[in-house]
Structure 1
Amino acid sequence: MGIGQGWPPIEVQAGHCHAAGSRRRTIGRDQARSLLSEGIRAGAHCRPDTDLGVLG
């Protein structure tokens, strides 16, 4: 989650990722796919876009 009003999402991480920061919340697979397809970046360590089949 980002900083500021409403804490907008800035990155999608897999649930097991060690790089996920302290400002996070759990989302479902469908919402993760949606955020990735909208241009929210995927975590570089865990690559959730690959696991979810969202490449681009």
Structure 2
Amino acid sequence: MKPAPPEWIVELGIGVGRPPVQLHRGTCYMAGKRRRPVKRDEARRLLTGGTGACSHCRPDAGLGMIDLGTARAA
């Protein structure tokens, strides 16, 4: 039996330190191969720290962190 996917994953960049690039829900098909699971608190910190949210799986919406200013402009 396959283990359940993590709730949130962070996609990592290339190179020394592998900086976080984008946050995804654990089941997102758009997440790259360089990734690691993160807990809810870390996912929220990543988003508030400037890490991008995947536009396909919308982890920001799942975390209740939708930027209303951006949503109104769209």
Q: TM-score, normalised by structure 2?
A: 0.72
Whole-Å separation in 1 of the counterparts to 2:43 and 2:60? 9
How big is the shift at 1:53? 0.9
Whole-Å separation in 2 of the counterparts to 1:20 and 1:40? 14
Superposition RMSD in Å = 0.7
Note the residue ranges of structure 2 that are not aligned, 5 or more in a row.
1-11, 68-74
Aligned pair partner of 1:36 in 28, 47, 54: 47
Note the residue ranges of structure 1 that are not aligned, 5 or more in a row.
none
Whole-Å separation in 1 of the counterparts to 2:21 and 2:15? 11
Q: TM-score, normalised by structure 1?
A: 0.94
Whole-Å separation in 1 of the counterparts to 2:48 and 2:64? 10
Residue-pair matches, total: 56
Kindly provide the amino acid, as one letter, of the partner of residue 11 in structure 1.
Q
Greater CA radius of gyration, 1 or 2? 2
> What percentage of residue pairs aligned between the two structures are identical?
50
- The structure with higher relative contact order (CA 8 Å, sep 6+) is 1
Whole-Å separation in 1 of the counterparts to 2:24 and 2:64? 14
Q: Which is richer in strand?
A: 2
